[in-house]
């Protein structure tokens, strides 16, 4: 099977196409470089052309054409994903969804939107329509698309109350186009959503998304300082468990993260400050402040609706989730990160144990999330990178300590996820992408069903550097 790039490009030439220069390079990359391991392996990756369909009919045309000419297709939202999710490992077509960004319908509790719409634009439309907002969004809210969030993300701001994207009810419906000689348009709800959500676009292209909404608030954003790290972590979980207080995020930053990496926060903290970043609904502030007053060692150093900071710190959520890593990387390029699950009910014990084992080589950055109704931690720990061998050892020691790792130094769905084959996604790929042309190299189960996960998977058809 040899890709006929020129024939595909010629057939699609009536659409917006980039096939050279900086645009092609930029659109072939995402935030893979957060990982020194992926940076070493994927830096050269380049698609052959970028095409930007304007509607579902043009998506079908792109897929039909690329199928006919055996051209791989890697879909791109805004390319803010980590893990190299949106990178065309085998070259070919990058299908950019930027021109499919319409908000089609807003109703009580739901929005129907095209996949290329930015998360911030979804929220703006829903707020204007009826004072509603997305239940959860990634901290790349200002730049990322809803389609990319559903296909590549996991959760984020809002997960403290609503859990993760994979939880039943957090996506209502997806409309998906298959990669066949004559592409089909399918609709998925309920149990079937797992086939294509968080599948990196390896088995279908999402052309319409229906998401649940919650009431929108002017969230009060805060930083609370603690001298003692475990007190900060305990406080963050306790806030999530306050039955009468509505919160949207609770992030915990081990000292000296706030001092060393948060430039606008730095004048207000010292090296020993452990910080908690929060968003609380305005009507919950009395309840929150009551609880804060009962908490030993907690000092409210910033609230967005009442402060005297000379330099506005910007949205508190842009310190959380993977923005913490970004801020650290800007100051110290040798920093990388891990994604860790500190599961209920031993979340606090595990955090304490890992801290004993690794601090300061690994600094805790925790996000409180809800899983099966229980508040616990997603860790996006900051790691001082030395060697790949040491990074692998840190991963192994976390796992031996009972912490699940979603390894951000791998580019496959399985290794970045739960290290198991998702049979539903694989079965749907067999049906929807029989030639294996969608986002190649990202699903091990497709390429090498016998792979044992002892070493890092190396996609054999990774396009070589030129």
92 vs 201, which CB is nearer to ligand FAD? Answer: 201
Asked if 31 interacts with ligand FAD (CB under 6 A), we say: yes
Asked whether the beta carbons of 275 and 258 are under 8 A apart, the reply is yes
Residues 148, 206 contacting (CB under 8 angstroms): no
CA distance 206 to 185: 10
Residue 79 or 398 with smaller CB distance to ligand FAD:
79
Which of 75, 161, 251, 425 is close enough to bind ligand FAD by CB under 6 A? 75
Among 5, 117, 206, 382, binds ligand FAD (CB under 6 A): 206
Environment class of 217 (CB within 10 Å of its CB; exposed 0-12, middle 13-18, buried 19+): middle
CB nearer to ligand FAD: pick between 117 and 298: 117
Using CB atoms, what's the residue nearest to ligand FAD? 148
Q: In the set 3, 8, 66, 86, which binds ligand FAD (CB under 6 A)?
A: 86
Residue closer to ligand FAD by CB (options 132, 140) is 140
Q: Which stretch binds ligand FAD (CB under 6 A): 81-89, 279-287, 302-310, 455-463?
A: 81-89
Nearer CB in complex with ligand FAD: 141/226: 141
Strands 274-280 and 247-253: antiparallel
Asked if residue 97 binds ligand FAD (CB under 6 A), the reply is yes
- CA–CA separation, 77 and 443 (whole Å): 19
Residues 158/148, Cβ–Cβ less than 8 Å: no
Check residue 77 for interaction with ligand FAD (CB under 6 A): yes
Q: Identify whether 345 is preceded by a cis peptide bond (ω within 30 of 0).
A: yes
Q: Compute the distance between CA of residue 177 and CA of residue 188 in angstroms, rounded to an integer.
A: 11
Kindly identify the residues of this chain, within the stretch 125-154, that bind ligand FAD according to CB under 6 A: 138-140, 144-145, 147-149, 151-154
Among positions 269-308, residues that touch ligand FAD (CB under 6 A) are none
Q: What's the rounded Cα separation, in Å, for the pair 61 and 59?
A: 5
Q: From 79-87, 102-110, 297-305, 353-361, give the range in contact with ligand FAD by CB under 6 A.
A: 79-87
Per-residue binding string, ligand FAD, 221-250, x by CB under 6 A, is ------------------------------
- Segment near ligand FAD (CB under 6 A); pick from 11-19, 69-77, 243-251, 400-408: 69-77
Q: According to the binding rule CB under 6 A, does residue 79 interact with ligand FAD?
A: yes
By the rule CB under 6 A, 92 interacts with ligand FAD: no
Q: Tell me the H-state helices in 154-198.
A: 159-162
DSSP state letter for 219: P
* Binding of ligand FAD by 365 (CB under 6 A): no
Q: Residue 299 CB, nearest distance to ligand FAD (Å)? A: 26
Task: Give ∠ CA 254-255-259 in degrees, rounded to 5.
Answer: 125
Reduce the secondary structure of 407-466 to three states and give it as a string: CCCCCCHHHHCCCCCCHHHHHHHHHHCCCCCECCCCCHHHHCCCCCCCCCCCCCCCCCCC
Q: Using CB under 6 A, which of 98, 195, 323, 410 touches ligand FAD? A: 323
* Local structure of 296: helix, strand or coil: coil
- CA torsion angle for 174, 179, 180, 182 (degrees, to 10)? 60
User: Minimal distance in Å, beta carbon 121 to ligand FAD?
Assistant: 12
Q: Does 328 bind ligand FAD (CB under 6 A)?
A: no
Q: Which is nearer to ligand FAD, 117 or 220 (CB)?
A: 117
Stretch that binds ligand FAD, among 73-81, 369-377, 397-405, 421-429 (CB under 6 A): 73-81
Binding residues with ligand FAD: total (CB under 6 A): 38
Find the helix or strand (DSSP H, E) in which 185 lies.
strand 185-189
Q: Which residues of 436-462 are buried (b: 16+ CB within 10 A; e: fewer)?
A: bbbbbbbbbbbbeeeeeeeeebebeeb
Cβ atoms within 10 A of the Cβ of 297, count? 13
Which among 34, 89, 29, 28 has a CA at the least distance from the CA of 339?
34
- Min dist. Cβ of residue 291 to ligand FAD (A): 25
Q: How far is the CB of 455 from ligand FAD (least distance, A)?
A: 23
With CB under 6 A as the contact rule, the residue among 201, 277, 313, 408 that binds ligand FAD is 201
10 Å Cβ neighbour count for 417?
Answer: 17
Measured from the CB atom, is 67 or 323 closer to ligand FAD?
323
Per rule CB under 6 A, is residue 262 in the interface with ligand FAD? no
Q: Which of 28, 65, 82, 339 binds ligand FAD (CB under 6 A)?
A: 82
Neighbouring-strand partners of residue 225: 275, 299
Give least dist CB 294 to ligand FAD, A. 30
Residues that bind ligand FAD (CB under 6 A): 30-31, 74-82, 85-86, 97, 115, 138-140, 144-145, 147-149, 151-156, 200-201, 205-206, 321-323, 326, 439
């Amino acid at each position: 099977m040899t890709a006929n790039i020129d024939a595909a490009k010629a057939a699609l030439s009536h659409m917006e196409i980039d096939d050279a220069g900086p645009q092609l390079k930029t659109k072939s990359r995402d935030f893979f470089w957060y990982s020194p391991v992926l940076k070493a392996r994927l830096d050269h990756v380049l698609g052959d052309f970028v095409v930007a369909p304007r509607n579902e009919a043009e998506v079908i045309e792109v897929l039909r054409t690329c199928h006919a000419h055996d051209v791989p297709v890697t879909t791109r939202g805004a390319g803010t994903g980590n893990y190299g999710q949106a990178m065309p490992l085998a070259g070919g077509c990058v299908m950019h969804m930027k021109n499919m960004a319409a908000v089609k319908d807003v109703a009580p509790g739901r929005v129907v939107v095209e996949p290329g719409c930015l998360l911030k634009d979804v929220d703006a439309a829903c707020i204007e329509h009826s004072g509603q907002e997305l239940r959860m969004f990634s901290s790349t809210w200002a730049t990322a698309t809803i389609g990319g969030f559903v296909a590549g993300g996991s959760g984020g701001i809002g997960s403290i109350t609503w859990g993760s994207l994979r939880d039943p009810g957090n996506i209502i419906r997806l409309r998906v186009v298959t990669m066949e000689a004559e592409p089909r348009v399918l609709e998925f709800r309920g149990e079937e959503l797992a086939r294509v959500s968080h599948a990196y676009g390896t088995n279908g292209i999402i052309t319409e998304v229906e998401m649940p909404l919650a009431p929108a608030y002017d969230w009060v954003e805060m930083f609370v300082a603690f001298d003692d790290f475990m007190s900060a972590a305990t406080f963050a979980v306790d806030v999530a468990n306050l039955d009468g207080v509505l919160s949207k995020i609770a992030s915990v930053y081990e000292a000296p993260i706030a001092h060393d990496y948060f430039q606008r926060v730095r004048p207000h903290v010292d090296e020993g400050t452990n910080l908690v970043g929060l968003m609380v609904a305005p009507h919950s502030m009395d309840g929150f402040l009551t609880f804060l007053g009962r908490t030993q060692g907690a000092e409210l150093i910033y609230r967005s609706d009442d402060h005297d900071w000379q330099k506005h710190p910007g949205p508190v959520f842009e310190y959380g989730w993977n923005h913490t890593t970004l801020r650290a990387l800007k100051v110290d390029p040798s920093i990388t990160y891990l994604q860790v699950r500190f599961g209920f009910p031993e979340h606090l014990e595990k955090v304490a144990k890992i801290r004993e084992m690794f601090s300061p080589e690994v600094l805790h950055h925790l996000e409180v999330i809800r899983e099966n109704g229980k508040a616990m931690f997603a860790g996006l720990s900051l790691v001082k990178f030395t060697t790949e061998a040491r990074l692998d050892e840190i991963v192994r020691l976390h796992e031996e300590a009972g912490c699940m790792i979603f390894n951000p130094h791998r580019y496959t769905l399985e290794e970045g996820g739960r290290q198991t084959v998702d049979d539903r996604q694989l079965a749907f790929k067999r049906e929807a992408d029989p030639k294996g042309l969608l986002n190649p190299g990202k699903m091990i189960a497709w390429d090498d069903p016998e792979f044992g996960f002892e070493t890092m998977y190396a996609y054999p058809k990774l396009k070589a550097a030129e």
